[in-house]
Amino acid sequence: MKAIIIDDEKRARLNLTLLVKEYCPNVEIVAECENLPEGVKAIHKYQPDLVLLDIEMPGHSGLELLDFFDENEVKFKIIFTTAYHEYALQAFKFSAVDYLLKPINPEELSNAIARLEKQKSVESNYSLLKETMKQDVLDKIAIPSGSNILFIETNSIICIKGDGAYSELKCTNQVIHVVSRNLKNFEDILCNNPRFVRVHKSHIVNTNFVVAYNKSDGGSIELKDGMHLPISQDKVQYLLDTIQMIKR
């Protein structure tokens, strides 16, 4: 497997090259580039299978790499290397895009390469990641929908129901979106906002739409549209405290 490293820090490129040589003997580093334009030239020249790509670089973000290629030219896979904060890591997970957190752990590098080798095709979620990470405050969420990316205002999401590998987003105006992401993905990316609470193993709710808590029959909450959702007993006080905090 041929690989290219794109990172503006010389030491980071050297460290990553040494780690790849020691822990990933099936990977050959064919070029090391210190910026995105150099990386684009190297990709055209060497046609790599893999690009190990830093995100934060002067001039161009690593997320802009695919802007330099037509869709049919993207025959390589990407593993991002990043020192980003927690929200960005959640965005990576939500977009199903692989990343390595700096300083890079050899075992995580080896595992990421192994996962990549098992993939049968180049994943197409980089644009989803790019759109999600544009937001410092998550006023909208970008979700995959067939060959499109939909932008959903978070304050329009009433609740989310998880069903295995899929989730159903119920929004205002009776709009429902079925998304190929499990509920944990939505919990990671939404529940940092106190308005969203995972009240049950199968449900996340926007507290703005909660109108009542019913203690009978194991406990449930009622939403503005009359819908009732189950609530786990260990989540009751947390939900009540969260609503009180938001109302202050």
CATH number, domain 2-126, options 3.40.50.2300, 3.20.20.150, 3.90.79.10, 3.40.50.150: 3.40.50.2300
SS3 call for 188: helix
Residue among 59, 56, 58, 52 nearest 77 (CA): 52
Residue among 81, 84, 71 nearest 32 (CA): 81
Q: Is 121 exposed, middle or buried (0-12, 13-18, 19+ CB in 10 A)?
A: exposed
Rounded CA-CA distance 206/70 in Å is 39
Q: What is the CA radius of gyration of the chain?
A: 21
**How do beta strands 176-179 and 228-230 pair?**
unpaired
Rounded CA-CA distance 241/99 in Å is 35
User: Tokens for 203?
Assistant: 């449900």
Rounded CA-CA distance 248/4 in Å is 52
The region that residue 195 occupies, defined by phi over 0 for left and psi between -120 and 50 for alpha, beta otherwise, is alpha
Fold entry, domain 135-247: OB fold (Dihydrolipoamide Acetyltransferase, E2P) (2.40.50)
> Using an 8 Å Cβ cutoff, are 158 and 172 in contact?
yes
**How do beta strands 2-6 and 28-33 pair?**
parallel
Model pLDDT, residue 120: 64
* 78 CB-near residues (< 8 Å, 6+ apart): 50, 51, 53, 65, 97, 98, 126
Model pLDDT, residue 117: 83
Q: For 103, what's the count of Cα atoms within 13 Å in the CB-facing half-sphere?
A: 4
Model confidence pTM above 0.75: no
Rounded CA-CA distance 168/36 in Å is 38
Model pLDDT, residue 88: 65
Model pLDDT, residue 148: 74
> Using an 8 Å Cβ cutoff, are 153 and 159 in contact?
no
- Each domain of the chain, given as residue ranges in start order, spans 2-126, 135-247
Kind plus residue range of the DSSP H or E element containing 132: helix 126-133
> Using an 8 Å Cβ cutoff, are 176 and 143 in contact?
no
Q: CA-based diameter of the chain, in Å? A: 67
User: Tens-digit pLDDT profile for the chain (248 aa)?
Assistant: 999 999 999 999 999 999 999 999 999 999 999 999 999 999 999 999 999 999 888 878 787 888 888 777 788 888 888 876 665 666 676 666 788 888 899 999 999 998 888 776 555 567 777 766 665 556 778 788 777 778 888 899 999 999 999 999 999 988 999 998 899 989 888 887 778 999 999 999 999 999 999 888 778 999 998 999 999 988 888 888 877 766 55
Model pLDDT, residue 90: 67
